[in-house]
Amino acid sequence: MNKKQINKIIPKLFFFISSIVIFISFGLFFSLIFNTLGFFNNVTLAQFFFDSTWTPLFSQPQYGISSLLIGTILVSGLSILIALPIGLMTAIFLSEYAHPLLAKILKPVLEVLAGIPSIVYGFFALTTITPWLQSLYPDQIEFYNALSASIAMGFMIVPLISSLSQDALNAVPNQLRTGGYALGLTKWEVVKGILMPGAKSGIIAALILGISRAIGETMIVAIAAGIRPSTSWNPLEAVLTLTGYIANVAQSDVDQGSTAYFALYAVGLILFTFTLGLNILGRRFISRKAKATYV
Amino acid sequence: MSNNKKRRLKNKLIAIFLGIFSFSSVVILFILFSSILVTGIGALDFDFLMNFTSRKPEDAGILPGLVGSLMVVFGALLFALPIGISTAIYLQEFGKKNKLVSLIQTLIYNLAGVPSIVYGIFGATFFVATLRLIFIATGSSITTGRVLLSGILTMGILVLPIIIVTAQEALKTVPKSMKEASYALGATEVQTNFKVTFRFAFPNILTGVILAIARILGETAPLLMVGASGFITFLPTDFFKGFTILPALIYTWTFRPIPGFKEIAAAAIIVLVLLQLIISSVAIITRALLQKRYE
């Protein structure tokens, strides 16, 4: 083969390889769609939306997705309630206040927290956080409960929120900062009056992407949150989340052709849709930040 | 107290407050590591690394999980690296700015945010089912697609977006002057991309490899879905055998009510985290050495 042919073939070959991404994306999407349609051959939409609980493995199965949504919203909401304030405060502290020495300790700690596998957080929730909560709320808390999983998940998401918020704070032009100081403002007044408004879009993006991460997280809830679908919003009780159900079916000997198995695809499709929507929204907010700051 | 003093005091107090909240991550990390070390260190010895799983916690070991995890890591990288780097080179260098290229780029960003359990569903639907059909069609004695190869392919597509995005970032850092110099010497586009751009970016491409390794080692849910089981009592000697991974053993042992299993689960976590550290530091050292060569 001569040089000219190579110059023609190689880019085509590389294009061909790149298109694998298209196949994977559509494969993911359509395997969820088609099997979800299979699920709805046996279950009506009315059942799916209005049944009061989610018990596909019972002899009188119920397919009320709302009870899985309660579990997912409860756990991800609580974990964000922990991760957002801590993550944001960490970002402000690191980018504006921290002594370089403190930053040198804090940054690697956040990197390590971000790199710890979720199964380790799950184990930590079940063997350390849950016993601690049991001593705080004796007799009121179940062994498998939403709160324990949420606390562990919250600290898992702190690094994500803090790094995205830090990016947002750093993107505020330095002239605005120094301008504030020139007017005699204190650091906090600069943060509150100039940086936070300037970084607003980026911080919202951090929040949205944090929620998306929490919704998709599986192992922590599979280990620490239990498998009983909830009908109440009590975080001291067990919950079943969208991801929890998928993991549960994957672990049990559910017959692959059964409705309970096909239910996994409907749950997966909802999970996929939610996280995709949030991620697209989050990326929009990130790019809006870049545009807004450089006007 | 004058107004100015009040403002400065407020600023000081807020700084301390932010610092305290930021360091809650340090405290959590410390509690997490120390509780796992205290629980698991007693169970950690050479036999633990060399034994198979067992009904008695004192006899149980992690050998199949250790071997399985390493094989999944290397297999998935072997699959994802060539595809990922080629895709990055195409998108960044060969590809013209057209709709198809921007579609592929959008799909990659979206794939990067898909929860890992959804990859598990896809793996169980596509790879496991396809392999099973192939086994049946070829009259093989294997009756299930829940084999090592399914795990490798599932993890391969899961880390593909990470590898592509970091490789693209690495390619972006190559100075334009280097490429122009190459063209000025009469090199073709293909030669420039392979011999100049790719080589120059290679150390930074390794960053993606480091991230991918950490991710693969820690992932649990998708591999449980494609067959990793905590009860495997043989080594995955070929791609078409059943397999297990360290996190699957941890998951199974965490739920065993018999005393002693919690301890070996913690010991397995110590091994998992150490393994992550060792493999990542090998990659980090390689990157540092390569970077030095280009200075």
ipTM: 0.93
pLDDT 10s digit of each residue in chain B, 295 long? Answer: 688 889 999 999 999 999 999 999 999 999 999 999 999 999 888 888 888 888 888 888 899 999 999 999 999 999 999 999 999 999 998 888 888 899 999 999 999 999 999 999 999 999 998 998 999 888 888 878 889 999 999 999 999 999 999 999 999 999 999 999 999 999 988 899 998 999 999 988 988 888 899 999 999 999 999 988 877 778 887 888 889 999 999 999 998 888 889 999 999 999 999 998 888 788 888 888 887 876 6
Separation between Cα atoms, residue B143 and residue A172, nearest integer Å: 59
Please report, for residues A4, B17, B185, B290, the alpha-carbon distance to residue B182 in angstroms, rounded to integers and kept in the order given.
17, 55, 5, 21
Beta carbons within 10 angstroms of residue A115's beta carbon: 18
Tell me: pLDDT of A110 over 70.
yes
Q: Is A111 on the interface with B (CB under 8 A)?
A: no
Query: What integer pLDDT is reported at residue B295 of this predicted model?
Result: 61
Give the residue-averaged pLDDT of A146-156: 96
Q: Measure CA B122 to chain center.
A: 18
What distance in Å separates residue B267's CA from the closest CA in chain A?
A: 11
A217–B126: do the CB atoms touch at under 8 Å? no
Query: What integer pLDDT is reported at residue B90 of this predicted model?
Result: 94
B31–A128: do the CB atoms touch at under 8 Å? yes
Helices (H), chain B: 3-22, 24-40, 46-50, 63-89, 99-112, 116-122, 128-137, 148-172, 176-184, 189-191, 199-218, 221-225, 246-255, 261-294
What distance in Å separates residue A80's CA from the closest CA in chain B?
A: 15
Higher pLDDT, B258 or A21: A21
A15–B90: do the CB atoms touch at under 8 Å? yes
Query: What integer pLDDT is reported at residue A136 of this predicted model?
Result: 92
Confidence of residue A295 (pLDDT cuts 50, 70, 90): very low
Tens digit of pLDDT for each residue in A54-70? 988 888 888 999 999 99
Instruction: Give the highest mean pLDDT range of A41-50, A210-219, B255-264.
Output: A210-219
Tell me: pLDDT of A294 over 50.
no
Separation between Cα atoms, residue B56 and residue B62, nearest integer Å: 13
Is the distance from CB of B45 to CB of B124 less than 8 angstroms? no
Six-digit token pair at B40?
A: 């698991």
B35–A126: do the CB atoms touch at under 8 Å? no
Please report, for residues A87, A189, A247, B90, the alpha-carbon distance to residue A94 in angstroms, rounded to integers and kept in the order given.
10, 16, 37, 37
Query: What integer pLDDT is reported at residue A292 of this predicted model?
Result: 55
Query: What integer pLDDT is reported at residue B256 of this predicted model?
Result: 85
Tell me: pLDDT of A129 over 70.
yes
The secondary structure of A17-60 as a DSSP string is HHTHHHHHHHHHHHHHHHHHHHHHHHS-HHHHHH-SSB-TTSSS
Give me the amino acid identity at A231.
T
Q: Which of B89, B100, B117 to mutate to test the interface with A (most CBs of A within 10 A)?
A: B117
Confidence of residue A189 (pLDDT cuts 50, 70, 90): very high
**Residue A63 phi, psi (nearest 5):** -125, 45
Closest-CA residue of chain B to A209: B113
Residue B188: exposed, middle, or buried by beta-carbon count in 10 A (0-12, 13-18, 19+)?
A: middle
Q: Which residues of B touch A243 (CB under 8 A)?
A: 115, 117, 221
What distance in Å separates residue A147's CA from the closest CA in chain B?
A: 16
Q: Which residues of B touch A276 (CB under 8 A)?
A: 110, 113-114
Confidence of residue A293 (pLDDT cuts 50, 70, 90): low
Tens digit of pLDDT for each residue in A221-230? 999 998 888 8
CB pairs under 8 A between A and B: 234
Q: Measure CA A253 to chain center.
A: 28
Q: Which residues of B touch A21 (CB under 8 A)?
A: 87, 104, 107-108, 111, 160, 164
Q: What value does the mean pLDDT of chain A take?
A: 91
B35–A127: do the CB atoms touch at under 8 Å? yes
Beta carbons within 10 angstroms of residue A269's beta carbon: 20
Six-digit token pair at A136?
A: 């705080």
Tens digit of pLDDT for each residue in A155-182? 999 999 999 999 999 989 999 999 999 9
